[in-house]
Chains A and B, each alone.
With several copies, the nearest count.
Chain A
Amino acid sequence: MPRRIIERPRGIEYLSILDEKGRVDKKLEPDIPEETLKAIHRLMVFARLFDERTLQLQRQGRIGTFAPIKGQEAAQVASVLRLREQDWFVPSFRETAAQIHRGLTPQDVWLFYAGYREGVRVPEHDLPLCVPVGSQCQHAVGIAYASKLKKRDEVTMVFHGDGATSEGDFHEAMNFAGVFHLPVVFVCQNNQWAISLPRERQTASKTIAQKAIAYGFGGIQVDGNDPLAVWVAAGEAVERARSESEPTLIECVTYRLAVHTTADDPKRYRSDEEVKEWEKKDPIPRFEKYLKAKGVMSDKDFAAVREEIREELKTAWKETEQVIRELEATRPDVIFDAIHAETPPELAEQRAYFLRRLEREGGRHA
């Protein structure tokens, strides 16, 4: 009857396999096929170069506000690669690398950031990026519910930031996932910052992973800059979702090395030293050390990959410029397209009005 412990939550595990210096814990090292190792590497490097190129384009005024992912490549690449095609991918707004893996092209992304709705192309079983922080988590839950109801072998992986965990939406989604035993994996990109708010002031819990305890399922914290640890944790979670229909929360401890978006000035709220410290933990050099040590790739290979990606991006931008010219030449009443499946009469009327004005103004105004 008296004072006693009735529930001992499992301890929160931390997983790290490949450390900052490129040293690997042999006991934990996963057996990843060479081709996959190369795929992880290429996607991470692609993301980094794409980020750089996109920042340039933004600075040149070719595209609008952009959210770089620099530093978070491992956390999103090694996790999303664990999905099969039929699985569902639900991004937040900072998973460009994962989106590209799932089928977006640089052109799609650039068109989006250049302010065209045409940039929202949706590969099957993917969602487009989600602007309202955290609100995508519930969509993942609904998707997973439908998969389970229809007895389809589909896992849903949803990404969100550390900041997102403060939103009610995150909580409600986690709770639903637990209650309905859904095959969903929550991947938290804990990049230490939500714009100017540091992780410690986002929540008083020591880890984000332990939040899973509130919902009756498992959570794990991993070194998010270690592709091997992310790979292992995501693999386990996807497998648990697939075979036991149980959710998992994975906290990837990583860092946003760049600005929040190009509209942000991080100097206002964080120190250069902190950034420098985290640059040492950059996932790409670390992984390249590993690949070299393992004899999977050489410096020459790395250079070749970079060269190839640069070329690809060059061509892609040229093509994108062409598409943008075409879009700019499109009659602007496309803004009226596809708002509904069945267009309400007043909207049809508004479009007709728009077109009348457009004609009268010789296409310059409406």
Chain B
Amino acid sequence: MPEITLIEGVNLALKEKMAENENVVVLGQDVGLDGGIFRATIGLIEEFGADRVIDTPLAEAGIIGMAVGMAMNGLIPIPEMQFSGFSYTAFHQIENHVARYHWRTRGQIPMPMVIRMPYGAGVRAFELHSESREAYWAHTPGLKVVIPSTPRKARALLRAAIEHPDPVVFYEPKAIYRAFRENVSDEPETMEIGKAEVVREGRHITMIAYGAMMPRTLEAARMLADEGIEAEVIDLMTVSPLDEETIIESVRRTGRALVVHEAPRSFGPAAEIIARLNDKIFFELEAPVARVTGYDMPPPFFAREQWFLPSPTRIADEARETLKL
């Protein structure tokens, strides 16, 4: 397999799963002929036909609601929300139905479904094309939230999400859709939902991130390494449910932690990770857990969006501060 980009990883997983299982269908705005506005679904309509690669009218609640019905009648729908900022139109269908059908019916009506949506700032887009609100979905009982950070993980996690029996919100870091390439195996690869990965080992501090913040966090780790600070870096991959085991095992060793996300700070994902560390290993923490996050505002209009996003410098600085304590 040649080296591929993250978006190609998404595309590959979709192709593979559609070929493996004829019940898998893709639906959304412009997912057919156009191949998706980011080309995530390119080539699918040619291979699987317009009945399984469905261009829908412009209605997010309609798309998710239709997917709910499809899942009830034997399909595994993969609806796309064109941008996460437009998924709110379908919020009620996701919260009231996608997240609750299994619960409501005590499993009589399961809800296998993967809701794909690109998220995040950094692509010089209009307003509402740069949001990062994974916390909404993570706070919604019944959903799983998965966010890949590399091409290989995109492919392996999306495959896993499609095979997963519960509904998964698959949040795609569009800022790194094409940022770099990675080798993926010829054989279909699947990674477990709910597992984080230590992507860099270190003993001084644990830095936790996911999605588009991973390259920045790794860059910060390299900057710190130059100064002799060995940062351990964890890629969450699944934001909900959190892989406490991996996080706690690491922070127990390092005694210090830092969480990075581009979502607004207040009531954001980092708060939950801090709360878990507080719950479980409070007395083993040697310093407060740092959070390096977006500010409490919508992502700024794009000329100034880089001022909003956590930079490697800022991440490294906060790590240094934590190490001083």
- At the interface, yes or no: B219 with Cβ under 8 Å from chain A? no
Residue ID in chain A nearest B33 by CB atoms: A269
- At the interface, yes or no: B127 with Cβ under 8 Å from chain A? yes
User: Bound state CA distance, A247 and B271, in angstroms?
Assistant: 49
- At the interface, yes or no: B282 with Cβ under 8 Å from chain A? no
The answer to whether B105 touches A341 (Cβ under 8 A) is no
Number of interface residues of A (CB under 8 A): 79
- Picked from B37, B74, B266, B308, the residue with its CB within 8 Å of the CB of A263 is B37
In the complex, chain A residues whose CB is within 8 Å of the CB of B244: 345-346
| Distance (whole angstroms) from the CB of B299 to the closest CB of chain A | 9
User: Bound state CA distance, A65 and B107, in angstroms?
Assistant: 25
Residue ID in chain B nearest A341 by CB atoms: B165
The answer to whether A145 touches B66 (Cβ under 8 A) is yes
- At the interface, yes or no: A339 with Cβ under 8 Å from chain B? yes
The answer to whether B194 touches A115 (Cβ under 8 A) is no
| Distance (whole angstroms) from the CB of B127 to the closest CB of chain A | 5
In the complex, chain A residues whose CB is within 8 Å of the CB of B142: 339-340
Tally A-B pairs: CB < 8 A.
252
The answer to whether B314 touches A366 (Cβ under 8 A) is yes
Residue ID in chain A nearest B112 by CB atoms: A341
The answer to whether B304 touches A332 (Cβ under 8 A) is yes
The answer to whether B69 touches A141 (Cβ under 8 A) is yes
The answer to whether A142 touches B37 (Cβ under 8 A) is no
The answer to whether A197 touches B124 (Cβ under 8 A) is no
The answer to whether A268 touches B33 (Cβ under 8 A) is yes
Q: Quick one: given A201-B57, A268-B34, are A337 and B106 in contact (CB under 8 Å)? A: yes
The answer to whether B102 touches A195 (Cβ under 8 A) is no
In the complex, chain A residues whose CB is within 8 Å of the CB of B93: 135, 138, 169
- Picked from B29, B70, B86, the residue with its CB within 8 Å of the CB of A146 is B70
The answer to whether B58 touches A164 (Cβ under 8 A) is yes
| Distance (whole angstroms) from the CB of B178 to the closest CB of chain A | 13
User: Bound state CA distance, A274 and B53, in angstroms?
Assistant: 24
- At the interface, yes or no: B208 with Cβ under 8 Å from chain A? no
The answer to whether B69 touches A149 (Cβ under 8 A) is no
User: Bound state CA distance, A141 and B301, in angstroms?
Assistant: 28
In the complex, chain A residues whose CB is within 8 Å of the CB of B72: 127, 139, 142-143, 146
User: Bound state CA distance, A201 and B8, in angstroms?
Assistant: 28
The answer to whether B61 touches A197 (Cβ under 8 A) is no
| Distance (whole angstroms) from the CB of B322 to the closest CB of chain A | 15
| Distance (whole angstroms) from the CB of B159 to the closest CB of chain A | 16
User: Bound state CA distance, A101 and B125, in angstroms?
Assistant: 26
In the complex, chain A residues whose CB is within 8 Å of the CB of B164: 342
In the complex, chain A residues whose CB is within 8 Å of the CB of B102: 338-341
- At the interface, yes or no: B52 with Cβ under 8 Å from chain A? yes
- At the interface, yes or no: A320 with Cβ under 8 Å from chain B? no
- At the interface, yes or no: A278 with Cβ under 8 Å from chain B? no
- Picked from A128, A142, A332, A344, the residue with its CB within 8 Å of the CB of B67 is A142
| Distance (whole angstroms) from the CB of A340 to the closest CB of chain B | 5
- At the interface, yes or no: A100 with Cβ under 8 Å from chain B? no
Interface residues of A in 166-197 (CB under 8 A from B): 166-169, 172-173, 175-176, 179, 194-197
Q: Quick one: given A175-B59, A197-B55, A357-B317, are A128 and B104 in contact (CB under 8 Å)? A: yes
User: Bound state CA distance, A331 and B143, in angstroms?
Assistant: 26
Stretch at the interface among A36-44, A116-124, A248-256: A116-124
User: Bound state CA distance, A268 and B241, in angstroms?
Assistant: 39
User: Bound state CA distance, A150 and B72, in angstroms?
Assistant: 13
- At the interface, yes or no: B278 with Cβ under 8 Å from chain A? no
Residue ID in chain A nearest B300 by CB atoms: A335
The answer to whether A268 touches B110 (Cβ under 8 A) is no
In the complex, chain A residues whose CB is within 8 Å of the CB of B51: 149
Residue ID in chain A nearest B311 by CB atoms: A365
- At the interface, yes or no: B303 with Cβ under 8 Å from chain A? yes
- At the interface, yes or no: B68 with Cβ under 8 Å from chain A? yes
The answer to whether A342 touches B166 (Cβ under 8 A) is yes
The answer to whether B296 touches A346 (Cβ under 8 A) is yes
The answer to whether B265 touches A350 (Cβ under 8 A) is yes
In the complex, chain B residues whose CB is within 8 Å of the CB of A149: 25, 51-52, 75
User: Bound state CA distance, A356 and B52, in angstroms?
Assistant: 49
- At the interface, yes or no: A147 with Cβ under 8 Å from chain B? yes
- At the interface, yes or no: A216 with Cβ under 8 Å from chain B? no
The answer to whether A339 touches B141 (Cβ under 8 A) is yes
The answer to whether A202 touches B307 (Cβ under 8 A) is no
User: Bound state CA distance, A67 and B166, in angstroms?
Assistant: 32
Q: Quick one: given A139-B65, A167-B58, A350-B265, are A196 and B97 in contact (CB under 8 Å)? A: no
| Distance (whole angstroms) from the CB of A140 to the closest CB of chain B | 6
| Distance (whole angstroms) from the CB of B269 to the closest CB of chain A | 14
The answer to whether A142 touches B296 (Cβ under 8 A) is no
User: Bound state CA distance, A335 and B35, in angstroms?
Assistant: 35
The answer to whether B89 touches A168 (Cβ under 8 A) is yes
Q: Quick one: given A145-B66, A196-B33, are A139 and B57 in contact (CB under 8 Å)? A: no
Residue ID in chain A nearest B71 by CB atoms: A142
- Picked from B65, B67, B266, B300, the residue with its CB within 8 Å of the CB of A169 is B65
The answer to whether A335 touches B194 (Cβ under 8 A) is no
Q: Return 7 A-B CB contacts under 8 Å, by A number.
A: A119-B301, A127-B109, A135-B97, A142-B70, A145-B69, A169-B61, A346-B242
Q: Give the 9 A-B CB pairs with smallest separation, nearest first.
A: A142-B69, A138-B65, A344-B241, A172-B62, A115-B303, A341-B165, A146-B73, A196-B34, A115-B302
A64-B126, A141-B66, A339-B103 known; 11 other A-B pairs, CB under 8 Å? A65-B124, A115-B124, A117-B106, A138-B61, A138-B93, A169-B92, A339-B102, A341-B102, A346-B242, A365-B311, A365-B313
